[in-house]
């Protein structure tokens, strides 16, 4: 387990939940995405990091693409491993409770109609990547909003593994996000193609999606 003082203080954009949720809603309303550094509550971030570290290797499955009968593993597209969060641990319950608060706030503020949420831990070993993709295809309206939280202390650009968020299919530069501990990224799932560059050391995160239909566990669309 990791003690609180082993992580740097997450001053960044962290504040009380209602204020943070308001900033995220403002970002999404203005530009369709939100990048907030040091935003995830510190105690929650550390509990989730610790939970991910104690998960046995057999709890993680090689990630794939598609859902239901269309699910398949494809190492040309992605090479990470995932473990779904089902609320069986205290850290998992706290995470689902916190995201439920975010869901409720965004529904009140932006009228998104979100009613379900699914998420999983993602582990990228050195060399792992996820090529450019969408989390949802326009018009299908299953995944509405993507959420990514990072748990990597002391991460720098030299470590690779950045999330690159593109504004459209023609954007070749994108906005790079270093997956530093406590950073929270939220974006409209069908609006922004994105990728994860190859990591040079172990990279830990959670990927989640607010949906407007029923979640299907053990059949994954992309983590980040």
Which runs of consecutive H residues, i.e. helices, occur in the chain?
Answer: 17-31, 42-54, 90-110
Query: pLDDT for 103-151, tens place per residue?
Result: 999 999 999 999 899 999 999 999 999 999 999 866 665 899 999 999 9
CATH label of the domain that carries residue 103: 2.60.120.620
Sign of the C-alpha dihedral computed for residues 150, 153, 154 and 155 taken in this order: negative
Query: pLDDT for 29-80, tens place per residue?
Result: 999 999 999 999 999 999 999 999 988 666 777 654 444 444 343 444 677 8
Structural contact between residues 92 and 83, judged by C-beta atoms closer than 8 angstroms = no
Structural contact between residues 25 and 101, judged by C-beta atoms closer than 8 angstroms = no
Q: How many domains does the chain have?
A: 1
Residue 23 sits at φ, ψ, to 5 deg, of -65, -40
Residue 130 lies in a domain: yes
Predicted confidence at residue 218, as pLDDT, reads 52
Predicted confidence at residue 168, as pLDDT, reads 94
Q: In the chain, helix, strand, coil percent, each to 5?
A: 25, 25, 45
Report d(CA 48, CA 150) in Å as an integer.
10
Residue 110 lies in a domain: yes
Residue 172 lies in a domain: yes
Residue 218 lies in a domain: no
Query: pLDDT for 159-200, tens place per residue?
Result: 999 999 999 999 999 999 999 999 999 999 999 999 999 999
Structural contact between residues 122 and 81, judged by C-beta atoms closer than 8 angstroms = yes
| Structural domain containing residue 130 | 13-63+75-211
Report d(CA 211, CA 204) in Å as an integer.
23
How sure is the predictor about 89, in pLDDT bands with cuts at 50, 70 and 90? Answer: very high
Residues whose CB falls within 8 Å of the CB of residue 15, separated by 6 or more in sequence, listed in order: none
Report d(CA 119, CA 83) in Å as an integer.
9
For range 10-29, the mean pLDDT: 82
Residue 220 lies in a domain: no
Residue with tokens 């009968």: 69
Structural contact between residues 36 and 28, judged by C-beta atoms closer than 8 angstroms = no
Identify which of 128, 121, 133, 151 has the alpha carbon closest to the alpha carbon of residue 187: 133
Residue 179 lies in a domain: yes
Residue 176 lies in a domain: yes
Q: pTM of the entire structure?
A: 0.83
Residue 4 lies in a domain: no
């Amino acid at each position: 387990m990791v003690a609180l003082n082993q992580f740097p203080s997450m001053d960044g954009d962290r504040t009380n939940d209602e204020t943070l949720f308001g900033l995220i809603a403002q970002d999404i309303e203005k530009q369709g995405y939100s990048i907030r550094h040091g935003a995830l509550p510190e105690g929650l971030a550390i509990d989730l990091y610790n939970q991910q570290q104690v998960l046995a290797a057999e709890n993680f499955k090689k990630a794939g693409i598609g859902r239901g009968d269309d699910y398949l593993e494809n190492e040309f597209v992605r090479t990470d491993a995932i473990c779904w969060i089902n609320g069986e641990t205290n850290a998992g319950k706290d995470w689902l409770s916190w995201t439920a608060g975010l869901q409720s706030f965004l529904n009140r503020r932006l009228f998104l109609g979100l009613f379900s949420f699914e998420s999983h831990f993602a582990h990228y070993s050195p060399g792992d990547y996820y090529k450019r993709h969408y989390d949802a295809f326009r018009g299908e309206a299953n995944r509405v909003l993507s959420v990514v939280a990072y748990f990597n202390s002391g991460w720098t650009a030299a470590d690779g593994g950045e999330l690159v968020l593109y504004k459209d299919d023609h954007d070749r530069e994108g906005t790079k996000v270093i997956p530093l501990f406590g950073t929270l990224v939220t974006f409209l799932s069908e609006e922004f193609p994105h990728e994860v560059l190859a990591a040079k050391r172990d990279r830990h995160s959670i990927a989640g999606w607010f949906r407007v239909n029923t979640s299907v566990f053990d059949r994954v669309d992309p983590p980040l």
